[in-house]
Amino acid sequence: MKKITPFLWFDDKAEEAVNHYVSIFRNSRIVGVSRYGDAGSKVSGREKGTVMTVAFELEGQPFVALNGGPMFTFSPAVSFVVNCETQKEIDELWEKLSAGGEKEECGWLKDKYGVSWQIVPAVIGELMSDPDPVKSERVMQALLQMKKLDIAGLKKAYEKDKAA
């Protein structure tokens, strides 16, 4: 068991969301499902036997999803960063996770459940932290013009001749 596990509060779509996420990420699985019993049903107002929590893993990272009710919702203040090795992986995850949601700037998206994701190239840290501030600034300027991040475009900005 990992020391820290993200816990996602859904109104009533925890199981649906988890099935969606597990279908998108290759190295993923549902670990267990717990259901509301008599005591939980009385407190939550949920019908006995309905899904309470779903424990799952995405790319080896454990999560728990809860059907907790409408009193709390997701915010972009918390997001999940997915580091991608290739443009094909960025393209695939961007389309699948943003379907029914919102495509936002700088590699951010909100999925149809309201969860925020950042779909980024794994190389972004290297490009953004180059000791040459001119290079990293060019990358930042390019990134600010994009919704879905484009590795070739970011690298082109990084490698651009300073005199150009």
How far, CA to CA in Å, does 89 sit from each of 19, 39, 145, 150? 20, 44, 20, 11
**Are 63 and 98 contained in the same domain?**
no
pLDDT at 163 over 80: no
**Are 96 and 151 contained in the same domain?**
yes
**Are 154 and 100 contained in the same domain?**
yes
**Are 163 and 84 contained in the same domain?**
yes
Q: Are 66 and 10 in contact (CB under 8 A)?
A: yes
pLDDT tens-digit map of 73-108: 999 999 999 999 999 999 999 999 999 999 999 999
**Are 97 and 134 contained in the same domain?**
yes
pTM above 0.85, yes or no: yes
Last residue of a domain, one of 38, 72, 106: 72
Phi-psi category of 65—alpha, beta or left, where left has phi over 0 and alpha has psi -120 to 50?
beta
Summary mean pLDDT of the chain: 93
Per-residue model confidence (pLDDT) at position 95 = 98
For 59, other C-beta atoms within 10 Å of its C-beta total: 10
HEC string for the chain: CCCCCCEEEECCCHHHHHHHHHHHCCCEEEEEEEECCHHHHHHHCCCCCCEEEEEEEECCEEEEEEECCCCCCCCCCCEEEEEECCHHHHHHHHHHHHCCCEECCCCEEECCCCCEEEEEECCHHHHHCCCCHHHHHHHHHHHHCCCCCCHHHHHHHHHCCCCC
**Are 81 and 160 contained in the same domain?**
yes
Per-residue model confidence (pLDDT) at position 23 = 98
**Are 157 and 97 contained in the same domain?**
yes
Q: How far apart are CA 109 and CA 76, in angstroms?
A: 9
pLDDT tens-digit map of 27-48: 999 999 999 887 766 677 778 8
* Residue at 144: amino acid letter: L
**Are 103 and 79 contained in the same domain?**
yes
Q: How far is CA 35 from the centre of its chain?
A: 25
Per-residue model confidence (pLDDT) at position 161 = 62
